[in-house]
């Protein structure tokens, strides 16, 4: 099954992810995972959730106070079972091909970071954890290119130094207790 975001929904999703990232990067990742999980549940069983308005259905995300609002395109419902099976096979084959392509690209680029750089970055983070506790840091490899109270502040400093896509993370003190949930 194919899905598309309404432009306003995509913007709301992006803004919510950024809001969580400014508070705690791991929360942003959990939020994105929660939304992706809800989308997967919708794709796996689109008629499972009840209609809330005309042909609009709603699937709630887990943990976060968001919902996926969606509609099923009627043309797909009108297909015969045999046509639906052929469509499913074609879409699955296309998805498998795309997945293999994405995996090959990921192996090839490795996000531009090799294991040696990743290891040096981790060592830098361990060595400077207490020094920058409670702040966001921006790294280019294992070199500090920005830091600040907000992720935006750290990112802006990196951009001023010519680094467009730094590694951004919030450092916590070893003694700081992290909490997430209701």
pLDDT at 111: 47
Q: Where are the domains of the chain?
A: 7-110, 113-170
pLDDT of residue 75 exceeding 70, the answer is no
**Average pLDDT over all residues of the chain:** 85
Phi and psi of 136, rounded to 5°? -90, 140
Q: What is the pTM of this model?
A: 0.42
- Distance set, CA 121 to CA 41, 112, 159 (Å): 36, 13, 19
Per-residue pLDDT of 87-106, as tens digits, reads 888 878 878 888 887 776 66
């Amino acid at each position: 099954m194919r899905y598309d975001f309404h432009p306003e929904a995509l913007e709301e999703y992006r803004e919510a992810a950024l809001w969580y990232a400014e508070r705690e990067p791991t929360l942003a990742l959990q939020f994105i995972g929660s939304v992706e999980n809800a989308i997967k549940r919708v794709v796996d069983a689109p008629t499972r959730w009840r209609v809330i308005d005309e042909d609009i259905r709603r699937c709630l995300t887990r943990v976060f106070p968001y919902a996926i609002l969606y509609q099923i395109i009627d043309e797909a419902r009108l297909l015969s079972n045999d046509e639906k099976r052929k469509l499913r096979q074609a879409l699955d084959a296309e998805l498998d091909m795309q997945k293999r392509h994405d995996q090959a690209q990921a192996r090839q680029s490795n996000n531009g970071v090799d294991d040696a750089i990743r290891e040096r970055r981790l060592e830098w983070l361990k060595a400077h954890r207490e020094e920058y506790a409670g702040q966001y840091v921006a790294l280019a490899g294992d070199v500090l290119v920005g830091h600040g109270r907000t992720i935006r502040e750290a990112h802006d400093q990196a951009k001023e130094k010519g680094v467009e896509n730094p590694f951004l993370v919030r450092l916590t003190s070893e003694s700081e207790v992290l909490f997430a949930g209701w």
